[in-house]
Structure 1
């Protein structure tokens, strides 16, 4: 009989056990991840009633590949651009929650008498919620169109990126066994630098590469190229001192900005399913039931800490960020579990040999319990809110409502915010590229030139010239490129007090350019020569080659922005709704071919009168109709952007989608935003029809807040009064133009 390798026997056993348990969990309508974990427990070395795997080390290698594949797919779903789209509310709430949970985990571990390293890893483990479990629960309960679900999705994006950061920091702490704040800060700076560099380089090069080879791409070559890029970035990330998982995540997020992203994700799905199953089965293999029973009290304590800690932290964080109490509580109770990233962090502690044997099974036990509790927590959120709302004194309730309404107010004057945000982008992004060019020149180019030419001074001069050739456009941008000319001019001319801060920023960025040039020259020449050379080089860059550098930088910038937005331009899609303290929010529907509304115009359908909803836009093929007229007819597969309350949208959905169709991803252009009637916009005394809002924003006025009262779907003859808060659904950029318009314009 021919010899069969142990690895094949083990894989047969793993996949067979996984197949049986997943079929069972599918029938029970439970998450497949739990089925994989139980399958791993059954075939693992700690459970003797079934056949056991023969070589655990080989399975661990496959599990490491599984982590790489999972993080690569997570990057494909994530994308840096999605992070930029996350609203301020989700960012504030997510960071508040992660910080609070990390401290709670560390404190809980300390109370239990655990070592410092166990406490640190426990904090990381309980900080991250499960995207898979939450999405599954929302789908089963029909909550994906609700207003709080968008908030939760934004927070999950923040958690994903923080989880990657945590993995890097925990690896650093584990290896160095030091907890110096300076060391951790250096690691954070290195990570941010690495992420920024590869984001800029990847967006500039990779989409252009795919457009160039598009004619030769098919499913097979696309899969091979994508996996090759993923593993190449894994090697590079490991070489510069980061984890393999981080490299996979970065490449996935860069590829997510290409027009091939959906195809890559589709081709990767079977690979992800295979290696994901192996990874989660390996998670179950490491569970020791005896150890888990021995630590049942810590499991119970940590489970309660996760459920109550996440509920409280997310609720408070969401409310602080401007969300109403109801949505904040729903978000908190939806995210009260731990999942996939928690397993990866726990696996990291095991692989580095810095955590105790009991921490891993405890983490899995807590995950299993909180996963089962998640659907019940989501269902209990609304009854709990109603009880709290009835219990709170009226004065407290009014204060809470006023805070959530005021916290999201869009200021009429956003000049400072626009100018400094642009300054920040100019300084940080160009600094990253300049520093990367200096590092590569000093570390690799100069030694190579010295060996080749055998003349040190000549090699140094050539190194400087080559570096300047690459970095000059970015030095020009760092020192001269103007931020938001209109806003900058407005600030400079309006008030004398604005001159000081603006001049200081200009001086700062020019000093940074001198410092970077000095940093380059000081590595190759003496300090005095480096200082004089830095000033002379900057003068040459700014005055002699300024126009050429400006032109070249503009071409680079156009290429970058084209690549960054190419996917959206091809798809001709836009928008994510901005959540508000109103119950009304944006949701998206695709008209089913079986819908009874086909061929009828909006006036005949009278959806606004029947259901209280508004149609913000209709996307038909490559054409988008903003704020459609009453005479506009409805056709199959029209994509509607609809505004309404949760209840209204739930009643409206069966009208247009009698059969369940895949829900559209939220888009970018159409927003639900609000402005206050004040002296800047001069809307006081005008009716909705005469205000020009519809024409200026391609949008609709869907609500007015006045003296504590709310008017939903106001009549077109309603007259605006001082301090009215006007809710508009329309194109974000045009609404912002209206907000920032000069008086009388």
Structure 2
């Protein structure tokens, strides 16, 4: 009989233990992550009465592969475009929570007599909530359609990026062993530089590659290509000094912008589940039960700090961002746990040998306890809000309600804000590209040409010219390209005192372009006079060939934007905050009693208080459908209503076949927005029917607030008055026209 390698024996033991605990935890309806950790505890070196893993080093390699695929899958769900659209409320809530928990963890560690490094890592461990656990809890409790769930998902998206930043900063801090401000700032700038560069290059190249090879791709080749791209980015990230986890996350987020994102996520799910299971089992293997017994008090203290700290910080962040008290309470109690990123941060401390042996098992124990408490906290959030509403002074509740109402709605940007935002974005993006091209030309192109093609000065000159040709379109875009022409002309023509700052901005742009050219030339030559001559020639050439450069750059930009927008992203949806009313998507089940009936026969507005804003039928979109429109099987319906109304009507759409199934379909056009009527508004003193809102904005008036009185589902004969606050669901591009 041939000898069986130890690795295979250990892997069989790990997967057998994971399989048994998975079945057990499925039976008792608990998160599988806890089952994997228990399996690791059983097969780890600290429990001797059953067979244990012997080759820990090989298992750590498997676990690192698990981290790579776990972060890759999180990247596929992340998407930088979602981050841009996540909205101010989620961003503010996430920042307040992360900063607060970093401080709470650090102070708690020091108060218990831990070292500075242990306390810093504890703060990092506590600062990030668990996406996996929250999504599972929302599905089990059937609350994904509720208003606060959208805010929680937005917070989790921001936290994912913050966790990546923490991995980089904690790695830098662990290596330097001190708070080196310059070194930390350098790490942040380096991370930002490579994030922008990788995102731009990835979006420009990878969707085009997938599009060109689409006919050659079957499931097998798509899986191989996706994993190859993931591991290639891992190699690049490690090469430039970052972690493998960061590279996997970045590639996942790039692929999330492609039309193949869902397909890739489906194909890689089994691979991710396998290696993630090994990772979580390896987490359990590092737990020493004796340490948990010895540190039972710190585990209890940190658990309470996690639950109370996250509830208070997330709730406070939500209130500051303009959310009502109910949403803030529900959000805070939903985020009160730690999870997968916390494990990865704890693993980082162990691998770098900068944290004590007790920190890792304590973090796992706290995660296990808070995982158990999360569903109960979510269930208790609404009763606790009702308790607070009864207990708090009425003035406080009314003030919070006024504050949340005043922060919602459409905000118009001034011409200066529009112009400066465009200039800053343009400068950052093209500066990153130009710096990358300079180093590409001086570090790689020039040595290659002088060593393999032409030696001496001629090789250097050819390298310089080729690099300048590559840089020319981006120098033109940075220094000369016109942006936001309408806002620029308004500022130039209407306000003479703004011409000076506008001229200064243009001079600054040209100066930046000149700087990058000089920076490139100094990589090849030190002669000052030669540099001045070269810069003069280049600037003249850019002006002479401006049209050709513009045409070439436009083609590059169109390809990039086409790739970026190929997959429709879900828009962050504003909410009627005081009324607890918001948008959600439902699908008409073939078993639904609604099938075949017209909207006027269904009378859902009269019976349930909801409005149907849009019907998606195959590739056809029907915004603000007429009363004679019928519902058919598999129609995707965008509905506006309160949490209770949506919960009541949801079973009607889903039928009796599978009442718990949820479907999320991105809608690119329909949003809920607030318009404030004044005497200059074109719909002032008109009835809802005569205003043409349905025709002009494909919109539906769902609510009006007039002198403190709220009118939900107003009659079509109601006349708009001055200072009416009107809530409209419709085409997000057309509704702002009503402000003019």
Q: TM-score range by the shorter chain?
A: over 0.9
Cα distance change, pair 702–541 in 1 and its aligned pair in 2 (3 A): farther
Cα drift, residue 500 of structure 1: 4.2
1:31 partnered with 2:31: yes
- What does 1:575-590 correspond to in 2, within 5 Å? 575-581=571-577, 582-590=579-587
Cα drift, residue 483 of structure 1: 2.5
Cα drift, residue 418 of structure 1: 2.7
Backbone CA RMSD of aligned residues: 1.7
Partner of 1:617: 614
Cα drift, residue 538 of structure 1: 5.1
- 8 Å contact from structure 1 (residues 472, 541) kept in 2: no
Partner of 2:198: 198
Q: Distance in 1 between matches of 2:412 and 2:72?
A: 42
- What does 1:421-570 correspond to in 2, within 5 Å? 421-452=421-452, 455-526=455-526, 528-529=528-529, 532-533=532-533, 535-537=535-537, 539-568=539-568
- 8 Å contact from structure 1 (residues 673, 727) kept in 2: yes
Cα drift, residue 589 of structure 1: 0.4
Q: Distance in 1 between matches of 2:721 and 2:495?
A: 28
Task: Name the SS of the counterpart of 2:651 in structure 1.
Answer: helix
Give deviations 1:273-324, integer Å, cap 9, x for gaps.
Answer: 1101100000000001111111111111111111011111111111111111
Cα drift, residue 669 of structure 1: 2.2
Q: Distance in 1 between matches of 2:81 and 2:180?
A: 33
- 8 Å contact from structure 2 (residues 93, 321) kept in 1: yes
- What does 1:117-128 correspond to in 2, within 5 Å? 117-128=117-128
Cα drift, residue 537 of structure 1: 4.6
- 8 Å contact from structure 1 (residues 93, 321) kept in 2: yes
Q: Distance in 2 between matches of 1:323 and 1:63?
A: 40
Selected match of 1:592 from 584, 589, 595: 589
Partner of 2:5: 5
Cα distance change, pair 455–728 in 1 and its aligned pair in 2 (3 A): same
Cα drift, residue 574 of structure 1: 5.8
Q: Distance in 1 between matches of 2:380 and 2:199?
A: 41
**TM-score, length-scaled by structure 2:** 0.96
Q: Distance in 1 between matches of 2:487 and 2:588?
A: 42
Give deviations 1:239-287, integer Å, cap 9, x for gaps.
Answer: 0101001111111111112222112111111111110110000000000
- 8 Å contact from structure 2 (residues 682, 738) kept in 1: no
Using the TM superposition, name which of 658-667 and 525-534 deviates more. Answer: 525-534
Cα drift, residue 680 of structure 1: 5.8
Partner of 1:603: 600
Selected match of 1:657 from 651, 654, 659: 654
- 8 Å contact from structure 1 (residues 576, 670) kept in 2: no
Give deviations 1:70-96, integer Å, cap 9, x for gaps.
Answer: 111111111222212211111111112
Cα drift, residue 533 of structure 1: 4.3
Cα drift, residue 482 of structure 1: 2.5
Partner of 2:327: 327
Using the TM superposition, name which of 676-685 and 345-354 deviates more. Answer: 676-685
* Count of aligned pairs between the two proteins: 736
Q: Distance in 2 between matches of 1:183 and 1:199?
A: 24
Cα drift, residue 338 of structure 1: 0.1
Partner of 2:364: 364
Q: Distance in 1 between matches of 2:494 and 2:681?
A: 17
5+ residue gaps, structure 2, are none
Cα distance change, pair 375–148 in 1 and its aligned pair in 2 (3 A): same
Partner of 1:310: 310
Using the TM superposition, name which of 722-731 and 287-296 deviates more. Answer: 722-731
Q: Distance in 2 between matches of 1:49 and 1:489?
A: 80
**TM-score, length-scaled by structure 1:** 0.96
Using the TM superposition, name which of 650-659 and 333-342 deviates more. Answer: 650-659
- 8 Å contact from structure 2 (residues 236, 247) kept in 1: yes
Task: Name the SS of the counterpart of 1:630 in structure 2.
Answer: coil
Partner of 1:353: 353
Cα drift, residue 170 of structure 1: 1.0
- What does 1:167-316 correspond to in 2, within 5 Å? 167-316=167-316
Q: Distance in 2 between matches of 1:189 and 1:680?
A: 47
5+ residue gaps, structure 1, are none
Cα drift, residue 101 of structure 1: 1.0
Cα distance change, pair 411–77 in 1 and its aligned pair in 2 (3 A): closer
